[in-house]
Structure formats: structure tokens, C-alpha cells
A and B are shown apart, each in its own frame.
Chain A
């Protein structure tokens, strides 16, 4: 990486719900930003620039919502950029802020993530427009049916079963109960998951994320400036990669299969290289992945280099990714328990920072010093990856 690194000073988030009818959109932003500034012990006047993460804006029903919300994050007078890479938006925004800092363009950057899907009368109508309008839109593929296709391929490719997916769901919902901000606070057994309503075979209701309203904010600065702060997480590595759009082009070639997202592997490899990680399974202490469906988390075990080809399910079978396993995944409950889409990647990034700062509360992984956060956009198409480290790592 470059001469100086970026560091996280503070993280704030709102409670996530299907509809945060108790507050307006700017108030939702204010809730997260004020918590992040307090957590970072930073005044608004110390913020040099703002990166806003919100997408697609059709969900809010407001064109350029960052302007509407500007008083809620103190952006008047400051440089402001809005990042939009679909579901990966929050991860991309953190990456953009880190680059602005490491390049020396701005010293201290506030990253704000917002999503208010409840403003949309029919979120699926919005999602349908992400597809190619000439050849594919009329097929009415949606995110759930698209990921169901992935799950079907995973069953064939590496032996994914309903038991594997049920274990991941039950694990993540149990983790979410330790996180006071999580949207779904469910007491769910593996049997409950297997008996939940079928949405698109093989996906069931409890394999899938909710739609959440919510906001998150992160305060970042240079590692030099972070040296004298009471707490900070260092951004050790960053990666980002995009795959081709058409699912058919990703079904199979010599290097990969549709079952295992190769773009995540590319992004993670870049982040590991930056961070000097050569054996992620033994070096990472905790992982906050953006996995809105249970089957995707299992595929990510392999993409992230934590399991050999076709063997990601062994991390389920051995319980390695449980809170008491050797590499806990999404101790916050993750995307399956709360999914404010444009902000979700930033929540993963903030949660990873909390872990290595030892400030994750009841879902803290003991002794966590090196964490990975990811974000995903499109139908398994764009990925970001960030490695965060405790200050003395």
C-alpha cells in the first residue's frame, strides 16, 4: 500500500427495522452520524470531507439524497461525494474514504451510509430494473430467484445441503441476538429454518435477509493522526473487483464456477496482499461478510481462501465459523439479520473495526486483532474487501 494508512476512529449505527417510521430520513442519518462522531471523539469541524453511501436512490425516492440530508451530517461547506456500486456501496464508500486519506487529499473523512427501502412501495419493482432491459427484464428474475440459481449450482458443485444452510442461518440469528442494533432478533433452530416457507427452491424464508431501514457512519483519518487516540482500527488492506454481468458467462470456466464467486476471491487476494496476509485461515481472527443469503456465506469460505476448492462446507460441518469456532463469521448477525442495502457494506466495515478495537460489546470475539470485512453488489458481481487490524498489529 502507500506510505500512510487510513484508520477508523469511530463507528455509529441506528437500530434497523423494516420501517423506521419514528424518524425522517435526515433524522435517521443524524442518529448514526452523531453516534459515530461521539464514538470517535471528533467534532464536525474536524471533518474535511464526506463520502455518502446510498443506493439505489430510487429506494429513497429522492434524487441526490445526500443534498437533502446534508444538515444531518454537517456537510455544508465540505467536499461531498456519493458512491454507488449497488449492494457494495457501503464497502466502496469506505474504500473511497481510505484512498482519499492515503493519497493525502483529505485528513479526516466521514463516511455515511443510508438506506430507507420502506419508502418504496414495491422494492422488487426497483430490483427488476437492474437487469438488462432488452433480453432479461421480462424474465422477472429477482435477487431471490437469482441466488436460488446459485444455491442449486452449489448443491451440484460442492454438495451444499439444506442442513448446511440451516446451520448458517441459525448461527447468524443467534449472533444477532447479542447485537442490540440487529433488525431480526429471532430465536431460531435449524429445524425452524428447514420448516420455514419456501421462496425459490432451495431457498427458504429463513435463509434470506430482511429489507431494513437504517443508517451507519464511520469516521476515518490517517494512521498518523490516529496514533494518539484512545482507540483506532488500522486499514491494512483493501481490494475491489467486478465480474462480468451475465450470469451465464460465469457458470463455468477453467478457473472458476458460478457456485463460488471469483470476484470476491480477486478482491480478497488484493486486500490480503496489501495486509501481508499469506494464510487467512490462521491469521484472520474474525470475518464480517456481506452475505444476505445463507448459501452465499458458505461459498465465501472458499472464495476468501479459508477452505480448499469445494470444501467450504467443512467449515460448517466442523463449526469453525461459529462464535466459539476458530474463525467466527458475522458475530453481529450480519446481513441476514439486518440489510439496509446501501449502508450494509459500511456496517460490515464498522463492525470489523469494532472487533479489532475490542469494542463490539456482547458480540465481541475474544482477542480479535485482525478482521476482514466484505461487501457485495449485483447478483454476486461486485465485491469489496477490507482488512482491519488492531493498532499494534
Chain B
């Protein structure tokens, strides 16, 4: 698989971006189109990653057909990290069903209440009633793996507003190429139960993305981390097989970007000064059980 990234844009995470959600998304998508030198008429689909609960409405994308660019076009939305939306966009192009599409993602936690949402991910019959803080699940999982009492530092992950967009195209001369997406991977771990290292899904996602790209970890020049707030760079680097000094965290490490984290990290990789091979990994879920990875060759 080989598709190009022709343009990208991001509204950097902030506690409260003073825009309506529609305006935030429109800003990201229109700037990404401008960055690609394209107009909405050049696009045949919109691939989104967003959460109803974070948006505060069921089927939140219904009202957003203008800003996401999906009117009269193919529309797809995932409720996973935005690297999953990127995977479906790449599949659309690689399958020959489209030449250029928008991938967009957002999170506007200033309109929501994060601490009310995350406990809803707990199994409702036995576990939710225990009233665990979601962060405790990671601690329990780690304890289960090591057989020792483990305490995860109760770091405050800050709710934020964020939006990002990429323009993904077929690898043809008609479109500029800021970078090439050459490998994608994903893996899912156990839900609540111990039985494998917490970073096993991240490790599997990264290795499958590299395998799809036909590259090895030694060829990666930068490892961009999305989400994975509570885990140290050293642990992630070891799980992925890349030296720690090649890891890049965004300056807003403690910002909860929701599903936007992965796409924003790809944007960060494109905006970096270095050409070469970038590996982007994201981890989400109660105990990082949902992992996605992308290999991007920066032009």
C-alpha cells in the first residue's frame, strides 16, 4: 500500500478554543485543502474520527456535513483513534474507489465532562459499580502482569479542544506529496483482564505497520507518540524496538486529544524539519488496549 499525504492542518490543543465545533473543523479541513493546493471539488470522501460522547450528541456527525466536506460525497466515521480513519481512507484509495479524500478528527472537551465519560467504558454489571478511577485500571493491569503492587502516578490529563485534518491522495503526479503513507497497523488487547504486557497491542500495531511498509525498526528515524500519556518514552521505545532518543512527544503531552491524537501526531511528523521515516503510534482505551500505527515517509 502506498498513498500520499498532500496537505495537513491542525488546531493545536488548547483548554478552550473559542470557536463552535463546526468552525473548528472547518478551519482544519479548509486549511488542509489549501495546504494541498486543492478545493473541496477535488475530494470524493470524508473519513472522520470522533466520539459522540465527547461531542455531547448522538450521531454528532449529522450536523457537520459542511465542515467535514462530506456533502454529496462518501462519508465514513470511526470511533477509534484517528489513525483508524486514516487506515480506511488509505484503503479507499488503494482499492481504487477514490483519488483524494479528507481525513478529519476533532475533540471539544470544553463542551463535555471528561470525568463523566471515561467511567462509562467500564463493564456495567460488575466493574463500574466499584467506582474505580479509569486510571486505576492501568495500575491493576500492571499489577496483574508483574505480580506486584503497582501504583500509577495520578497525573492529571487535561481536557482540551483540538481538530486536525489530512488530505490523502493516490500517488499520482496530479497531487503534491508532503509525505507518503506506506504502512498501517492496528492491534487490540484484552479488556480489563491481565495476561499480556500492557504495551503488547502497541508493540503489535507498530510491528505490523512496519511489516506492511517492508521496513524494519532500524530504518525509523523518528517515533511519534500519540496518547499513551502515563507510559514513559523509554518503555514505549523498548516495546517498539526503537531507541528512546528518537521518540518525539508533542509539547502538549498531558492534553487529552481523544481520537484526534494520532492524526495530530502525523501532522506533527509532517511539520518536522527532518525527512526520513516516521513511525506514529497511538494507544487508547482503559488500559491502552486499542493501538494503531502508521509509517510515514516524509518528503
Contact = CB atoms under 8 A, between A and B. Distances in A.
Contact of B58 (A67, A82, A127): A127
Contacts of B53: 57-58, 63
Given A56-B58, A58-B52, A67-B290, A241 B88 contact: no
A131 to B, nearest CB: 8
Given A57-B52, A62-B121, A129-B57, A103 B1 contact: yes
B283 interface: no
Interface in A120-140: 126-127, 129-133
Interface footprint category on B: 35 or more
22 contacts: A1-B95, A1-B97, A24-B125, A56-B58, A56-B59, A58-B53, A62-B124, A63-B118, A70-B191, A80-B80, A81-B87, A83-B77, A84-B79, A86-B61, A96-B76, A131-B63, A240-B76, A241-B73, A242-B70, A242-B72, A377-B62, A382-B75
A70 B121 CA distance: 13
Given A85-B75, A103-B1, A378-B59, A77 B204 contact: yes
A102 B62 CA distance: 28
A68 B94 CA distance: 32
Given A58-B52, A85-B61, A80 B94 contact: no
Nearest to B289: A67
Interface of B: 1, 45, 51-53, 56-59, 61-66, 70-80, 84, 87-88, 90-97, 117-118, 120-121, 123-125, 184-191, 204-205, 208, 212, 285-286, 289-290
A57 B57 CA distance: 11
B88 A84 contact: no
Given A2-B97, A127-B58, A243 B188 contact: no
Contacts of A85: 61, 75-77
Interface string A360-377: 000000000000000001
B74 A76 contact: no
Interface string A59-75: 00111100110110001
Interface string A142-181: 0000000000000000000000000000000000000000
Given A100-B91, A243-B71, A84 B77 contact: yes
Contacts of A67: 121, 188, 191, 285-286, 289-290
A78 interface: yes
Contacts of A377: 59, 62
Interface in A1-52: 1-3, 24, 49-50
A103 B63 contact: no
Given A67-B191, A76-B188, A240-B74, A99 B58 contact: no
Nearest to A98: B95
A1 to B, nearest CB: 6
Contacts of B123: 62, 68
B285 A102 contact: no
Contacts of B184: 105
Contact of A81 (B61, B80, B125, B286): B80
Contact of A1 (B93, B96, B289): B96
Nearest to B285: A67
B78 A82 contact: yes
A308 interface: no
A243 B97 contact: no
B124 A61 contact: yes
A79 B207 CA distance: 12
A67 B123 CA distance: 9
Most buried by A among B58, B77, B88: B58
Contacts of B289: 67, 70
Contact of A244 (B1, B71, B188): B71
Contacts of A99: 88, 91-92, 95, 97
Contacts of B285: 64, 67
A55 B79 CA distance: 10
A83 B64 CA distance: 17
Which 7 residue pairs across A and B have the least CB separation, nearest first?
A79-B186, A103-B94, A56-B58, A63-B120, A2-B96, A103-B91, A86-B59
